[in-house]
Structure 1
Amino acid sequence: MNFLGNKPAAPEESRAGRKHADEHRIVRLYKDHPTCDISIDEFERLALQRLRVLKKVEDLKLRGKQDEALMTEVMTSIRDNNLEGSAIEDPMRADQLSHFILRLSYCGKPELRKWFTTQECELFRLRFIDKLKTEDDRALFLQREGLAYTAVQTSEREMVQQKMKEVLRSSGNDGDIKIEQIFKVPFISVPDLVSQRKVWLHGGFAYVGQKDLVSLVAQDFRINLSKGLASISRRWREIFPDSDQRLRPLVEGLSQRYLGPDLGAAGNQARRSDLTVANLTSVSARHFPLCMHNLMQTVRRDHHLRHQGRQQLSLFLKAVGLPLEEALIFWRSEFGPKVPGDKFDKEYAYNIRHNYGKEGKMTEYTAHSCVSITRMTGGADEHHGCPYRRMDEASLRANLATLRCEPARINEAMQKKAGGHFQLACACTFQGLHAGADLELGINHPAQYYLESRRVYDERESAGGSSKPAAIPEAGAGPS
């Protein structure tokens, strides 16, 4: 892929001398496309580094983090993921490349464009505040990016300052604040400042103080990014023809990548050697997330699951440690009342062995992450996907009540569902079933839910078993 080229590492003293300037240059509108070659491995690494930061921004905002707490955690995530380069890399390079790589991945569907734009705008806003602290810093940025905002002339400056102070006083802010440079812009350019009563409105214009310049610049950032995404979307077939079977699948899959630990990999901590058909009923009742619990209930009740439901449950059972031999026993016994043994061996056993890497290409397939599951769709007679998305509120409330989830947490889960935050709704259920347990990172993978549930249960059992999480009741439980 043709992107910005590698640059030789600068001497230590030169890097130190450029540090302040680099911090300013890292805040930009991304108007210029990078042009040079990078490897496929670096392409993927840079994309995932930035994606982790954007996911962190989203998670912190959803959890209500603001101001200094939000700034501190996002800047820590930027450093941890080398988004601004490592000690021997040009800090501009990783940032610019990763941004434009993700533009390729998030330019298609409207919901992807909206998500990417929202997180990138918030990241830009936080960086602007963090890096450009002085009036000179901000003036250099405006000059570099070619942003010519109209400054209020000296002749009317005193009058405008007085009006802005009156606005600040009326909204409960300190009206005695010193207002430096003031910009005159159309009021539709700063809707957030208008809603917060931080600007003076007059004649269709908003008067913006220097310290609130970030809102004005963020609007230009959003407009530029939206145009860029639309341009790539129109040229998608030209950039990635149907014959491209190397880079195109990677780009298309980035938006669905699970970024946590590989909970489906062999030897991972999510797998436990104690999971068998004999204890699967009790373990699933206590430790499975709602999506997997529902699939278990369905297969026990109907003695059948449609293909996508079988795949979702089968890969999860593999991820949490059910051996292949036990998996074959489980599926054969559950399907037994409706599927004769020879038909099972012919139509279903191959697919189960294939999931475990024992057939076909001998590839070990990983379990679906929450991102993948929430995007699944299906008919009324199919039970795969995320129940927090697919169920209506009444059905979901009934299911959570059956699980004996705390009423307050059920209400909280309903609020998260209504807002489209399905993974946070699942986290609310976890906390409602594991009273007192904190789930700071949210739920990103069904196997993560399982692992956390077993950890909480084991810790409480070791402490005396006085406050074990309640077991989820099984409807029609027991092997068929």
Structure 2
Amino acid sequence: MRQFYPNPPNEPFTLEEFEFYSHCRLEVLLAIHHIKEHQNGKDLYEECMKNVSQDAQQVMQNMAQDSYSHYILRVAACVSKWTEWFIDMETKLFRMRICREDCVQALHQAFAVSYRIVAFDSLTHSEKNWMRATTSQNDIHKSRFYMVPFTECNDLIRDRRVLIRDGFCVLPKKDLIHVICYHFRSKIVSQMKTLKKGLAVHQQEIKRLTFIFDKLTSYYASKTYTATYQQAHEGPPFHFTLETIDHVASRHYPLCMQHLHDKLREHHHLKYNGRLQYRLFLKSLGFKVEENLRFWNTEFTKKISEAEFQKRYAYSIRHTYGLEGGRKDFEPYNCQQLSDSAPPKSGQYHGCPFKHWSSATLEVNLNEKKIGRDKIIPIIKASEYGKHQTACQLYFEAMHPLSAVGSFRLDNIGLYPSEYLYMSIRAFLP
């Protein structure tokens, strides 16, 4: 049986091992982040292991080191504010490894959970037809089904792949993997909330490890950024011009960038943080410096002269591309950086709406976009609970055709604003 990480390890290990184990684990989680889920779990795990170093493979194969690395990254994720991403990737890793285990046994042993069993013959006629249509078993009439509370089957319900009866989902044995992953994730979420509270009283110990956590965060940011940045510079899956940017912004921008664009058009100006956030976003979409300059020049000169624009703003745009000053080529902000930025003050519009807006402001904005009440409430709840990436993903689902969203992996939404745009474009492609 695979590990469920019930308790943190208490054996001592060196600071060098601490850094080594954590880096290996992060390497594996990043490989999972970038892997394409078109094969079964076993193949996915094997494919993932091919994409990591020999050191990382050995750490994952050693039960003690597997546990060390998992718990070290728990702490790093809490300190470095990529908790939600860590939980998502650990759950995916667990799913890859558990897919061929006996999930019934795992549920009972690891989580002390068991469910009422019903036989195929006890199902109604329509329920039997549903099971025949959705289950490939030839001997389905011999199968046993499990009555699982619907709250433990969110992904199956979301994808409309489950039979519901009296508040319970009727699941064949093969679908219990969704339930065990639910319990695994729920346990990690609960334990990490406790961990965050505990870290608050151990600041001195944490400071000793800051340099390691900083390196892990830099490595995480560089690797999650690389795919998006390369995609932009290899050419996005579409091409739009400054003349069509309003249409693209209204239909495909994430909420944070759409808000900036709308306010820029309204006021013909943005304050410093908003300007920097938006021009780096345009850069991430492949806009050349000349296009970025023309975009801002066209809008700002509706209120100021050409000479004033050149004097006050042109230099900073060229600086963004590494053409002035220290000639540093600036990278676009990721969603974590936007979330961590200083909250916008009066007249400012930068940051992350799901982090910085009040629930009332967010609700007004979502209503203006004609989003249904049934979809607005989960977005606001996720925002209130601090699940900003989840809120952004729910917003994406609300703004795009259900048929398209159902076939997409939304994991990258909420990591980089440009990734939202790419996914949005694809959702509307024939």
- Say yes or no: TM over 0.5: yes
Question: Contact between 2:9 and 2:68, CA under 8 Å: does it hold in 1?
Answer: no
Q: Secondary structure at the match of 1:262?
A: helix
From 331, 352, 360, the equivalent of 1:394 is: 360
Question: Contact between 2:322 and 2:330, CA under 8 Å: does it hold in 1?
Answer: yes
From 182, 185, 203, the equivalent of 1:233 is: 203
Residue aligning to 2:156 = none
1:323 to 1:128, Cα distance in 2 relative to 1, 3 A: closer
Residue aligning to 2:48 = 80
Question: Contact between 1:355 and 1:365, CA under 8 Å: does it hold in 2?
Answer: yes
Residue aligning to 1:105 = 76
Deviation of 1:351 (Å): 2.1
1:384-431 Cα deviation digits (max 9, x unpaired): 111123223333233223334345433442333333333233223323
Q: Secondary structure at the match of 1:265?
A: helix
From 3, 11, 17, the equivalent of 1:32 is: 11
1:35 to 1:337, Cα distance in 2 relative to 1, 3 A: same
1:382 to 1:332, Cα distance in 2 relative to 1, 3 A: same
Residue aligning to 1:328 = 293
Residue aligning to 2:347 = 381
2:263 is equivalent to residue 302 of structure 1: no
Return the alpha-carbon distance in structure 2 between the equivalents of residues 125 and 421 of structure 1: 22
Deviation of 1:296 (Å): 0.4
Deviation of 1:313 (Å): 0.9
Return the alpha-carbon distance in structure 2 between the equivalents of residues 77 and 281 of structure 1: 43
1:99-154 Cα deviation digits (max 9, x unpaired): 46536634648x7789979998998999899989999xx99x9xxxxxxxxxxxxx
2:251 is equivalent to residue 276 of structure 1: no
Return the alpha-carbon distance in structure 2 between the equivalents of residues 400 and 308 of structure 1: 24
Residue aligning to 2:258 = 293
Residue aligning to 1:431 = 397
What are the within-5 Å matches in structure 2 for residues 55-94 of structure 1? 80=48, 91-92=61-62
1:44 to 1:317, Cα distance in 2 relative to 1, 3 A: farther
Return the alpha-carbon distance in structure 2 between the equivalents of residues 74 and 399 of structure 1: 43
1:127 to 1:359, Cα distance in 2 relative to 1, 3 A: same
Return the alpha-carbon distance in structure 2 between the equivalents of residues 385 and 448 of structure 1: 17
Answer with 356-365 or 100-109: which moved more.
100-109
Letter in 1 for 2:331: T
From 436, 441, 460, the equivalent of 2:410 is: 441
What are the within-5 Å matches in structure 2 for residues 345-356 of structure 1? 345-356=310-321
Q: Secondary structure at the match of 2:230?
A: coil
What are the within-5 Å matches in structure 2 for residues 172-251 of structure 1? 229=199, 233-240=203-210, 249-251=214-216
2:386 is equivalent to residue 420 of structure 1: yes
Return the alpha-carbon distance in structure 2 between the equivalents of residues 128 and 273 of structure 1: 39
Deviation of 1:263 (Å): 1.5
Give the unaligned 5+ runs of structure 1.
Answer: 1-19, 57-71, 142-163, 175-213, 461-480
Question: Contact between 1:265 and 1:319, CA under 8 Å: does it hold in 2?
Answer: no
1:190-227 Cα deviation digits (max 9, x unpaired): xxxxxxxxxxxxxxxxxxxxxxxx9xx999x8899679
Residue aligning to 1:8 = none
Letter in 2 for 1:49: V
1:130 to 1:409, Cα distance in 2 relative to 1, 3 A: same
Return the alpha-carbon distance in structure 1 between the equivalents of residues 229 and 83 of structure 2: 29
Return the alpha-carbon distance in structure 2 between the equivalents of residues 307 and 360 of structure 1: 18
1:128 to 1:419, Cα distance in 2 relative to 1, 3 A: same
2:303 is equivalent to residue 341 of structure 1: no
Q: Secondary structure at the match of 2:224?
A: coil
Residue aligning to 1:47 = 26
Return the alpha-carbon distance in structure 1 between the equivalents of residues 249 and 304 of structure 2: 24
Deviation of 1:40 (Å): 8.7
Q: Secondary structure at the match of 2:227?
A: coil
Letter in 2 for 1:400: L
Q: Secondary structure at the match of 2:13?
A: coil
Letter in 1 for 2:11: D
Return the alpha-carbon distance in structure 1 between the equivalents of residues 286 and 213 of structure 2: 33
1:268 to 1:408, Cα distance in 2 relative to 1, 3 A: farther
Deviation of 1:301 (Å): 1.2
1:261 to 1:325, Cα distance in 2 relative to 1, 3 A: same
1:31 to 1:257, Cα distance in 2 relative to 1, 3 A: farther
2:426 is equivalent to residue 455 of structure 1: yes
Q: Secondary structure at the match of 1:317?
A: helix
Return the alpha-carbon distance in structure 1 between the equivalents of residues 221 and 306 of structure 2: 37
Answer with 78-87 or 402-411: which moved more.
78-87
Question: Contact between 2:355 and 2:388, CA under 8 Å: does it hold in 1?
Answer: yes
Residue aligning to 2:170 = none
2:322 is equivalent to residue 365 of structure 1: no
Identity among equivalent pairs (%): 25
Return the alpha-carbon distance in structure 2 between the equivalents of residues 396 and 227 of structure 1: 29
From 53, 78, 95, the equivalent of 2:66 is: 95
1:230 to 1:39, Cα distance in 2 relative to 1, 3 A: closer
Question: Contact between 1:406 and 1:433, CA under 8 Å: does it hold in 2?
Answer: no
1:286 to 1:126, Cα distance in 2 relative to 1, 3 A: closer
Question: Contact between 1:30 and 1:96, CA under 8 Å: does it hold in 2?
Answer: yes
Question: Contact between 2:380 and 2:391, CA under 8 Å: does it hold in 1?
Answer: yes
Q: Which has the larger radius of gyration?
A: 1
Return the alpha-carbon distance in structure 2 between the equivalents of residues 447 and 385 of structure 1: 15
Residue aligning to 1:313 = 278
1:276 to 1:132, Cα distance in 2 relative to 1, 3 A: closer
Give the unaligned 5+ runs of structure 2.
Answer: 35-39, 118-183
Q: Secondary structure at the match of 2:229?
A: coil
